[in-house]
Amino acid sequence: MKHKSISNKDRLIFAMDVADCDRARSLTDELGDSVTFYKIGLELMMSGEYFELLDWMLARDKKVFCDLKFFDIPATVGSAVRQLKDRGASFVTVHGNHSMMEAAAENKGDTLKVLGVTTLTSLDRGDLDNLGFDCDLEALVLSRARQALDAGCDGVISSGLEVPKLREHLDNKLLVISPGIRPVDNKPMSDQKRVVTVETAFSNGADYIVVGRPIRDAESPRAVAEAMQASIESQMNP
């Protein structure tokens, strides 16, 4: 698998899933140079200081992934992305159909990259049945990724389990970001059903991984992040 030219340290994205921005700043300081890329999502958006935190991280030379999963009528999605495009974020997510993703792509500007969500890693076959999706999970991910590519998105969010199929059938230029990552010895997470290890994600062809609780809840978050960075380095430079 030929990987894209991305700084190896940037390939680890830490999911900053905490309740307030003071905790986020403290954890960022604790992680130091072991993490260069952060994902901030809906929980922090509701804290009321989302953009202050975004600016604070950018001032410290961190990259930021705004995981807001926009889902609304295309005009509203396009307007939301247009409002975000000059704020300095690297990625934003859209969790909608072709027209929503197309509207996002048309308004992203030159630096913000739009990522289409394929299927959440918290969903399994039973959940898809419950939602009314009468198709194979892998086929659904591939279909959603094709739509994202056709709509002009820069990449997709996909479990590491489905990445080989994406690499087999889609343009390798498409970025693939894989959440649901955990160390081999980490206990299963009840709301993350389709998980893989760091090594499997990259050997399957992921460009980035998103890791949250295995780092956040560790006795030494920095030590876990550094171990993951070492694993990534060995994967990229065997």
Tell me the C-alpha distance between 54 and 87, whole Å. Answer: 8
Q: Are 209 and 198 in contact (CB under 8 A)?
A: yes
**Token representation of residue 156:** 């997709």
Specify the 3-state DSSP secondary structure of 181.
strand
Residues 6 or more apart whose Cβ sits within 8 Å of residue 222: 30, 31, 32, 34
Going by pLDDT thresholds of 50, 70 and 90, the confidence category of residue 74 is very high
Per-residue pLDDT tens digits for 156-201: 999 888 899 999 999 888 999 999 887 654 444 444 445 689 999 9
Neighbours of 62 (CB within 10 A): 17
CA proximity to 186, closest of 197, 170, 194? 197
Per-residue pLDDT tens digits for 108-139: 999 999 999 986 555 555 655 564 555 677 78
Write the single-letter amino acid at 147: Q
- Residues that are catalytic: 69
| pTM of the full structure | 0.90
Domain edges within the chain: 8-236
Q: Where are the alpha helices (DSSP H) in the chain?
A: 21-31, 42-45, 50-59, 74-84, 98-106, 125-131, 137-151, 163-169, 198-203, 213-216, 221-236
CA proximity to 11, closest of 235, 190, 222, 238? 235
CA proximity to 160, closest of 7, 11, 17? 11
- Of 3.40.50.1980, 3.20.20.70, 3.40.50.1970, 3.30.470.20, which CATH number belongs to 8-236? 3.20.20.70
Tell me the C-alpha distance between 35 and 33, whole Å. Answer: 5
Lowest-confidence segment of 57-71, 96-110, 185-199, 212-226 by average pLDDT: 185-199
